[in-house]
Amino acid sequence: MSTVTVTGRIEAQAVDVWRLLTDLPGRGRRHLAGPVELLTPGPFGPGTSWREPRAQPDGGLLVEEFCVVEAVPPRRLVLVSSGVGVDYRITWELRRAGRRHHGRTLVGVTLEALPVDPYGRVAALFLG
């Protein structure tokens, strides 16, 4: 398994960051190649699934499917997604940046990739 973690500070409160992360219709308007296709009815939470198209650097389009496995507003969001030969787990951790940094949120994002077939193992070999 390969794991990458990135952390940073955002000039917004955790509830506002959470709202941005969980606004599925808004995702398509902000940064993707097209609208999000919601696959499950009901409120956002564990079991919520959707597809989202993403523009690729070569001009192509990649459609990815995500499913929420854990949602603890406004602190933790865990998604899973199956790729070609690799299963992904994306964990978002949100917490207040501290007393001196009121209105700021520390954001940690961890991407875990688990190869599930020979292609995925080759990709993991090259990507570490």
Kindly report, residue by residue over 5-24, the tens digit of the pLDDT.
Answer: 999 999 999 999 999 999 99
Q: Between 59 and 72, where is the model more confident?
A: 72
The conformation of residue 122, written as its DSSP 8-state character, comes to: H
Token digits of residue 98: 């501290």
Antiparallel, parallel or unpaired: β 61-72 and 49-55: antiparallel
Mean pLDDT across the chain, nearest whole number?
Answer: 87
Burial of 27 (0-12, 13-18, 19+ CB in 10 A): middle
Q: What's the whole-number mean pLDDT along residues 77-98?
A: 92
Higher local confidence (pLDDT), 40 or 97: 40
